[in-house]
Chains A and B, each alone.
Chain A
Amino acid sequence: MTDTQVAAKTTGAAAATPVLEVRNLSVALPKGADRPFAVEDISFTVGAREIVCVVGESGSGKSVTAFTTMGLNPKEVKPVSGEIILQGEDLLKKSDAEMRRLRGEKMAMIFQEPMTALNPVIKVGDQIREMLEIHTDLSAAEQKERVLEVMADVSLPDHVKMYDSYPHQLSGGQRQRIMIAMALALEPGLLIADEPTTALDVTTQAQILDLIKDIQRRHGSGVLFITHDFGVVAEIADRIVVMQKGKIVEQGTRDEILLKPQHPYTKMLIGSVPSMTPSHRVEIDKRSPALIAQKVNKVYGGTGLFRKSREVHANKDVNLVVHRRETLGVVGESGSGKSTLARCIVRLQDPTSGHIEVEGADIATISENAMRPHRRDIQIVFQDPYRSLNPRRTVGQSIVEGPMNFGVSEAEADSRARELMEIVGLSPDALDRFPHQFSGGQRQRICIARALAMQPKVLIADEAVSALDVSVQAQVLDLLDDVRERYDLAMLFITHDLRVAAQICDRIMVMQNGVVVEEGETAKVYADPKHEYTRSLLAAAPGRDVAFAK
């Protein structure tokens, strides 16, 4: 497409008429769902050259809204009333074939997880080209030329060479750029982005957000941006639509919603966003270290038969001390080695070398059998509460299993489980239920109870609140802080989220490429970061200029 055509198109769809207009839309859920409508009687517009953020927690209906617009909902989820008008055409009245024509040409979508959203066995250039193959009569050479043009447009480095790459050969940010290039290939009037930066690191997230803003400005498209993250909203939104349980509770301009929210739900959501200002922490008694790690190294690979295969130094001479009642945060981006460190410390992986001292015993390199008695001292809570509980066992069975492995009688383990359920804020009667009967936050509470049942000295939380909605996240953080004090726990808190780290960590350790680049008291590190990498991390955290309540 030439520049004049683009210009004609953008002026044609003038800002006066919105690109997308959703009027009184209701979408029904299949029978047996927890509510009759996924979205109920919602109305909003997206103007040309406008970024509208639809924000809400999981189950708010924000993704269903996006997918209904694209016509990509599963068959059981049907729009039952209302209109979705895209540049004058009512999408709900279109046939499948007409929708196929509109998808890609008039509206395009960017998904959350660019790794799975791209076909792993097709070259990325060809995946973008498929868009042109479907919708245009361009020759193969012209198609390729256009693909290279959009790849350059989204600032992909060395795009000519990258055309022939497969998705797994690219970084997360590059993959998302490919997705964006694909969406842009036909200059659609409406771009729908469904949590496009949730799976990315903060620094990459900042770049992608900039890219989306830049592209929207240059191409004059309207953007419907779905997110749960108020930090991202603050960065990118022109207008904000707040959804709760399928209904729009409030909508307005960015400043109206962020600075003067009216609806209690909006206020609660904004109030739950953890602040970048570290919370005040009580002084810790530094005389009783519970966990000491010295020169921990973890090397992957390196054993080839004929030639030396590639070695990856996931942890390089990592030292740390966590005292009783103290929370040490480990922050860093994906690939920084923070999760590997956690796994080495609980010995889910074997460190290559080093010392890890728990309760006076060095567990770094002892055998699996010798490790067993120490397992109860050090417990871990994982990121995804949906997958870390066995779906076929009741919650009670999952909690008592650990203590019973160590010789606790069933009656005692059971009474301990009941007690713990109350401590984590759940009813002891729920012990007979299965994990799928609980919400994400409740499941994470169960995982915490499961870890505590072992009466550990050290608790490791590996991205333990990352999969949770903000309001739930705040509660689980409070719970973790509460049990830390109640049981004198030393806590190692692994996270990529600097806001969360600011709220719960006494001290903080910043990792990059397996190396600790900076360490210190949280407040000091945030106020005066010494290392270049820490500074870039802090600068990339979205929504820094908005003072969120907590």
Chain B
Amino acid sequence: MLTYVLKRVLSTIPVMVIVAVLVFLLLRLAPGDPAAVIAGDYATAEDVERIRTQLGLNDPMLVQLWRWILQLASGDLGTAIFSKKPVMELIGQRIEPTLLLSLCTIVFAVAVAVPLGTIAAWKSGSLIDRFVMFFSVGGFSVPVFVLAYCLIYVLAMQLKILPVQGYKSPFDHGLFTFLRHMVLPVLALSVIFISLIARMTRASVMEVLEEDYVRTARAKGQSEWKILMKHAVRNAAVPIVTVIGVGIALLIGGVVVTESVFNIPGLGRLVLDAVLARDYPVIQGLILFFSFIYILINLLIDLSYTLFDPRIRY
């Protein structure tokens, strides 16, 4: 087990290096120039050139890449071009809303999707099943921002039961205010997640219900409900948990959009602002940070398999 964890942690290093190089190259290949943004609309070509030299952007690409890799190796994500603050510090300032938004979304999505999928599998072919399947196709198809604006229009502007946008930290404003502001973003963000997990749960539970040990449980005289709860769900857990892990990637994309729509000052907004300003160190740092989180969560998920299935040993 320990060997396995160590191996997996070590194997993240090459992955991070590849991600770092790719991000670096992609950014340089994309059009746009931070120097031009800094210099403003009325700057002369000389001004821009001077700023480029100051920022080291005129050095050969490989030199820039090497400089950045060295910096990363010493544990430094770099300094933002505009705010002149270390990227690490920026992430630290903005992480709370994103973390809480993601956490609430995952908890809510799992709490809704797993029972829905399980019931759909149990009553497969019934009206409930068809509703769940219809909902999940819909959930996949509607973009997050469309859904977000619809929710804002109905629940916040017409019915006026929830705030339109903004973020209130639970530590400064209390849990209730925090939750009131979280409802809409979490709803908008979780729909696609719910669709994904519900579908997977349904497929997985349906498969388990065909297993011989479910027949054995019936032969014992066990009731259908208990069979579902005791025998089916736990055996169906591994693929469900896996899809939750894969879905983290979806969540990261969704966070950027959701935070913009609801004006939440989190990492998603930080990404967006950095992209618009071509603030290379911030973009690079954030993408590396997100990939690291993604890898870490998936490692935790792989380890969690041992909780569900005693046959899995690392």
Q: Which of B298-314 touch A at CB < 8 Å?
A: 308-311
A105 CA to B222 CA in the complex, in Å?
Answer: 11
Residues of B within 8 A of A70 (CB): 219
A166 within 8 A of B: yes
Which of B115-123, B186-194, B208-216 touches A? B208-216
Give the contacting residue for B310; candidates A111, A121, A305; CB below 8 A.
Answer: A121
Specify the chain A residue showing the minimal Cβ separation from B216.
A117
Q: A101-B221, A130-B222, A134-B220 are in contact. Are A116 and B3 (CB under 8 A)?
A: no
* Contact A72–B310 (Cβ < 8 Å): no
Least distance between A141 CB and chain B CB atoms (Å): 20
* Contact B308–A111 (Cβ < 8 Å): no
Q: Which of B217-262 touch A at CB < 8 Å?
A: 217-223, 226, 230-231, 234-235
Least distance between B114 CB and chain A CB atoms (Å): 17
Give the contacting residue for A103; candidates B213, B220, B230; CB below 8 A.
Answer: B220
B7 within 8 A of A: yes
Specify the chain B residue showing the minimal Cβ separation from A101.
B221
* Contact B221–A111 (Cβ < 8 Å): no
A113 within 8 A of B: yes
A103 CA to B223 CA in the complex, in Å?
Answer: 11
Q: A103-B219, A105-B221, A182-B220 are in contact. Are A166 and B310 (CB under 8 A)?
A: yes
Q: A118-B213, A120-B311 are in contact. Are A135 and B7 (CB under 8 A)?
A: no
A85-106 interface code vs B (CB 8 A; 1 in, 0 out): 0000000000000011111110
Q: A120-B311, A166-B310 are in contact. Are A104 and B215 (CB under 8 A)?
A: no
* Contact B3–A121 (Cβ < 8 Å): no
Least distance between B224 CB and chain A CB atoms (Å): 9
* Contact A102–B309 (Cβ < 8 Å): no
A304 CA to B215 CA in the complex, in Å?
Answer: 39
Specify the chain B residue showing the minimal Cβ separation from A182.
B220
Give the contacting residue for B222; candidates A100, A102, A168, A306; CB below 8 A.
Answer: A100
Q: A100-B223, A103-B221, A168-B311 are in contact. Are A120 and B216 (CB under 8 A)?
A: no
A153 CA to B143 CA in the complex, in Å?
Answer: 62
Least distance between B218 CB and chain A CB atoms (Å): 6
* Contact A120–B309 (Cβ < 8 Å): yes
Residues of A within 8 A of B216 (CB): 111, 117-119, 179, 182
A75 CA to B287 CA in the complex, in Å?
Answer: 53
Q: A121-B310, A168-B311 are in contact. Are A116 and B221 (CB under 8 A)?
A: no
* Contact A104–B235 (Cβ < 8 Å): no
A108 within 8 A of B: yes
Give the B interface residue count (CB, 8 A). 24
* Contact B212–A113 (Cβ < 8 Å): yes
* Contact A121–B220 (Cβ < 8 Å): no
Residues of A within 8 A of B218 (CB): 72, 103
A185 CA to B254 CA in the complex, in Å?
Answer: 54
Give the contacting residue for B217; candidates A113, A119, A166; CB below 8 A.
Answer: A119
Residues of B within 8 A of A113 (CB): 212
Residues of B within 8 A of A108 (CB): 219-220
Least distance between A69 CB and chain B CB atoms (Å): 11
Residues of B within 8 A of A135 (CB): 221
* Contact A117–B220 (Cβ < 8 Å): no
A168 CA to B212 CA in the complex, in Å?
Answer: 15
Specify the chain B residue showing the minimal Cβ separation from A179.
B216
Q: A103-B220, A104-B221, A130-B220 are in contact. Are A117 and B3 (CB under 8 A)?
A: no
A121 CA to B221 CA in the complex, in Å?
Answer: 19
Least distance between A138 CB and chain B CB atoms (Å): 15
Residues of B within 8 A of A121 (CB): 234-235, 308-311
Least distance between A168 CB and chain B CB atoms (Å): 5
* Contact A117–B215 (Cβ < 8 Å): yes
Interface size band for A: 20 to 34
Least distance between B311 CB and chain A CB atoms (Å): 5
A118 CA to B212 CA in the complex, in Å?
Answer: 8
Residues of B within 8 A of A378 (CB): none
A109 within 8 A of B: yes
A525 within 8 A of B: no
Specify the chain B residue showing the minimal Cβ separation from A185.
B220
* Contact B222–A134 (Cβ < 8 Å): yes
* Contact A130–B309 (Cβ < 8 Å): no
A510 within 8 A of B: no
Residues of A within 8 A of B221 (CB): 99-105, 131, 134-135
* Contact B213–A305 (Cβ < 8 Å): no
* Contact B212–A120 (Cβ < 8 Å): no
* Contact A111–B235 (Cβ < 8 Å): no
B198-216 interface code vs A (CB 8 A; 1 in, 0 out): 0000000000000111011
A103 CA to B218 CA in the complex, in Å?
Answer: 8
Specify the chain A residue showing the minimal Cβ separation from B215.
A72
A119 CA to B309 CA in the complex, in Å?
Answer: 10
Residues of B within 8 A of A103 (CB): 218-221
* Contact A111–B215 (Cβ < 8 Å): yes
* Contact A104–B234 (Cβ < 8 Å): no
A304 CA to B1 CA in the complex, in Å?
Answer: 12
Residues of B within 8 A of A105 (CB): 221
* Contact A120–B222 (Cβ < 8 Å): no
Least distance between B137 CB and chain A CB atoms (Å): 27
Specify the chain A residue showing the minimal Cβ separation from B211.
A116
* Contact B7–A305 (Cβ < 8 Å): yes
* Contact B311–A117 (Cβ < 8 Å): no
Residues of A within 8 A of B217 (CB): 119, 130
A108 CA to B222 CA in the complex, in Å?
Answer: 12
A135 CA to B219 CA in the complex, in Å?
Answer: 12
Least distance between B220 CB and chain A CB atoms (Å): 5
Residues of B within 8 A of A102 (CB): 221
Residues of A within 8 A of B219 (CB): 70, 72, 103-104, 108-109, 111
Mind listing 11 A-B residue pairs with CB under 8 Å? A99-B221, A101-B221, A119-B213, A119-B216, A119-B217, A121-B308, A130-B220, A182-B220, A305-B3, A305-B6, A306-B3
Instruction: Point out residues on B near A: beta carbons under 8 Å.
Output: 3, 6-7, 211-213, 215-223, 226, 230-231, 234-235, 308-311
Instruction: Point out residues on A near B: beta carbons under 8 Å.
Output: 70, 72, 99-105, 108-109, 111, 113, 116-122, 130-131, 134-135, 166, 168, 179, 182, 304-307
A117-B215, A119-B217, A120-B311 given; name 16 further pairs at CB < 8 Å: A72-B215, A72-B219, A103-B218, A104-B221, A108-B219, A111-B215, A116-B211, A117-B216, A120-B309, A121-B235, A121-B309, A122-B230, A130-B222, A134-B226, A166-B310, A305-B7
> Nearest 3 A-B pairs (CB), nearest first?
A103-B221, A116-B212, A104-B221
